[in-house]
């Protein structure tokens, strides 16, 4: 599986901004939350149940993760140091201690 590296600056960032215009929104579908761009294109699905009905994330964790993803365009347009800090701490932000 190929991965695209997301950076706060550079060609990859500009390409994402032009292909997927802000604002991004979050909606709920069956067993997942969906992040969409301004044009309604699905960018990501965050599942809280898999196809067999097993819990992947809690519903609340999935909603928080989708909301964080939907904020990426705002963060890119602001201070890139803040974005780097958020991305670096994302695993800690998702923990439910």
| Residue 50 confidence (pLDDT) | 84
Of 87 and 7, more confident:
87
| Residue 3 confidence (pLDDT) | 37
What's the average model confidence in pLDDT over 6-21? 58
Q: What is the pTM of this model?
A: 0.63
Q: What is the four-CA torsion angle of 80, 70, 43, 73, rounded to 10 degrees?
A: -30
Per-residue pLDDT tens over the stretch 18-65: 677 888 999 999 899 999 999 999 999 999 988 888 888 999 999 999
Joined together, the tokens standing for residue 84 give 């780097």
DSSP 8-state symbol, 21: P
* Lookup result for tokens 């069956």: 30
Q: What is the mean pLDDT of the chain?
A: 76
| Residue 74 confidence (pLDDT) | 76
Res. 93: pLDDT tops 50: yes
Residue by residue, DSSP assigns the chain as: ---PPP-SSSHHHHHHHHHSPSPPEEEEETTEEEEE-TT--EEEEEESB-TTS-BSS-HHHHHHHHHHHHTHHHHHHS-HHHHHHHHHTHHHHH---
* Lookup result for tokens 């890119």: 76
Res. 67: pLDDT tops 70: yes
């Amino acid at each position: 599986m190929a991965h695209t590296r997301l950076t706060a600056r550079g060609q990859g960032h500009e390409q994402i901004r032009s292909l997927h215009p802000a604002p991004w929104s979050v909606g709920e579908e069956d067993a997942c939350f969906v992040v969409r761009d301004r044009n309604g294109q699905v960018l990501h699905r965050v599942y809280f149940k898999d196809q067999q009905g097993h819990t992947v994330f809690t519903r609340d964790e999935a909603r928080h993760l989708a909301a964080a993803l939907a904020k990426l365009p705002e963060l890119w347009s602001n201070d890139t140091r803040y974005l780097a800090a958020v991305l670096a701490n994302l695993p800690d932000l998702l923990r439910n201690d």
